[in-house]
Amino acid sequence: MDLQGKALDTVRAYRTALNKFISWLVSHPGLKKAPPARRIEAYLTARVQDDDISPSTQNVELNALLYFHREVLGVDVQGVNALRARPKLRIPPILSPEQVRSLISALRAPHDLISKILYGTGMRVNEALRLRLKDVDFPNGKLIIHQAKGDKERVIPMPEVLKADIRLQHQRAANFWRADHIAGYGVHLPRALEKKYRTLHTSNDWYWLFPAPELSVDPRSKRTQRHHVMDFTVQKAFLEVRRALGLPEYTTPHSLRHAFATHLAQSMLDQKFPREMVEAKLIEFLGHASRETLKYYLHLAAPPEGIVVLPIETILSSQEK
């Protein structure tokens, strides 16, 4: 996987899945001589029945095991018919605009600007943290997102109200770059670019918009360099503010993405935009084409078309009269 340039997160996920599979096989010696497809099938079925894993987890583990058998063992496994995990479709709880405002106001730099970008654009937290200086297009008022979920890219409008803050952060990051450049430190690059352009990691364009305050050692190249602000520090900042303000337990960086989508849909529906236009705008910002997810945002935002009187209300109101 390292030679093929796979993302480090993918390598770790596959390694974890393989370790779980091996541990499970040790406790089921009866499957030692079974065909690979039979072993994988039994394991994934047990994971659903015993651990109630999600479809996404099951897919990761299946892909990891198929990859291992194909690339390492040289066995092309076919016909894995495991019990499929059932999708858990849940309507995400949504923060109110007042809760979002109090959350952002309580966060300190740089987490306050990161949260503003999440709520202002609907980005995922790692999409915001991986922004580089070249991805901020001030002349056209755009933010460019690379290597998003599904290895996709998209361009989204930069909120007018955030331009001054983003420009100031851009200048701060450029100052970080100058100091690192003088000291001989660079940043992490995609593997293909790092191999092709040996000095690109010291380029100003590829420097992080949100550089980490401390240098770190890259686990692959072993080079001391500057990483971006890590997602766990953002999670920790949100946790501290949530507890201090008494916000709901689901107040996380990702909850701002849900809030953005719902509040944007609500605003557009209130302005009488056609539903198709609302969906198109959500897809533009959120970067996915899942109609199932969009349906939840639109359901939560849709204005009532009429007053529905429940039977219990009729009975109790008559009784009071």
Please list the active-site residues. Answer: 124, 149, 254, 257, 288, 297
Report the chain's terminal Cα–Cα distance, integer Å. Answer: 73
Q: Is residue 136 within 8 Å of 207, Cβ to Cβ?
A: no
∠238-243-249 over CA atoms, to 5°? 75
**321 membership: H or E segment, kind and range:** none
Nearest by Cα to 281 from 271, 294, 270, 293: 294
Count Cβ atoms within 10 A of the Cβ of residue 125 and give its class: 0-12 exposed, 13-18 middle, 19 or more buried.
buried
* Single-letter amino acid code for the residue at 151: D
Q: Is residue 226 within 8 Å of 208, Cβ to Cβ?
A: yes
Cis previous bond, 110, omega within 30 = yes
Tell me the helices (H) and strands (E) count for the chain, helix number first: 13, 5
∠294-238-267 over CA atoms, to 5°? 35
List all residues 6 or more positions away from 86 whose beta carbon is below 8 Å from its beta carbon. Answer: 55
Nearest by Cα to 119 from 258, 9, 218, 13: 258
Dist. CA 60–CA 263, nearest whole Å: 32
